[in-house]
Amino acid sequence: MSIALARQGEFEILKALTSEPITLRLFTNDIYPHSDIVFRDLKQVSGSGYQPQTLSPLNWKISIINGSYTASYPEVEFLFLNPFKNEIFGNYATKTVGGLQKVLWADRSEQAPMHIIIRGDRITVTPTLRLPKCQTEPEIV
């Protein structure tokens, strides 16, 4: 049976998720993220001046878009100081829990694969979180 997530519950869940720093990273392996993905499944970009970016709780904005609560973050920029030989396929967010990196979400870019060809190339990501609609379905006995 499905549950009905209360509208105020949507807001509280998004507020809780965005209330602590989250690390946004880029990945280089040619995969399609799925709900069972874990940290070791993703190969983080390394070198060429790449740095993971910390998403500050203060910069999230929670609003209602198309009838659903949505958490939006300003555009995040990854700057490369040198060309990067590998392709980049998307981004993922992590949080440290009990000393281990946990993947909160992963997103394959619509532009994948992306290439860093010259010094100063950038990749930008605008994190947006929206909870799926949940409904109560009658149980037939």
Q: What is the pTM of this model?
A: 0.89
- Average pLDDT along the chain: 91
The closest of 103, 110, 124, 123 to 42, measured between CA atoms, is 103
Phi, psi at residue 102, to the nearest 5°?
-110, 135
Given this model, what pLDDT does residue 2 score? Answer: 61
CA distance 80 to 65: 33
Looking at the chain, which runs of residues are DSSP E strands? 22-27, 53-55, 61-65, 68-72, 76-79, 84-88, 90-97, 100-108, 114-116, 122-125, 128-130
Give the mean pLDDT of 12-23: 95
Give the bridge partners for 24, in sequence order.
53, 93
Q: Is 135 part of any domain?
A: no
pLDDT at 5: 76
Residues 76 and 61: their CA atoms lie apart, in Å, by 14
Range of the domain at 54: 7-130
Residue burial 67-103, b: 16+ Cβ < 10 Å; e: rest? eebbbbbeebebbbeeebeeebbbbbbbeeeeeeeeb
Reply yes or no on whether the pLDDT at 136 is more than 80.
no
Q: Does any domain span residue 136?
A: no
Is residue 84 pLDDT above 60, yes or no?
yes
pLDDT given for residue 50 in this prediction: 96
Query: 43 in a domain, yes or no?
Result: yes
**CB-CB neighbours of 59 under 10 Å:** 12
The verdict on residue 66 lying in a domain is: yes
Taking only the tens place, the pLDDT of each residue in 99-123 is 999 999 999 999 999 999 999 999 9
Taking residues 68-95, what's their average pLDDT?
96
pLDDT at residue 13, as a whole number: 92
Pair of tokens at residue 53: 């970016």
Q: How many domains does the chain have?
A: 1
pLDDT at 25 over 70: yes
Q: Does the pLDDT of residue 1 top 60, yes or no? A: no
Residue 21 lies in a domain: yes
Amino acid 118: pLDDT: 94
CB atoms within 10 A of CB 22: 20
Return the higher-pLDDT residue of 133 and 46.
Answer: 46
Determine, yes or no, domain membership for 113.
yes
Question: β-strands 122-125, 76-79: how paired?
Answer: antiparallel
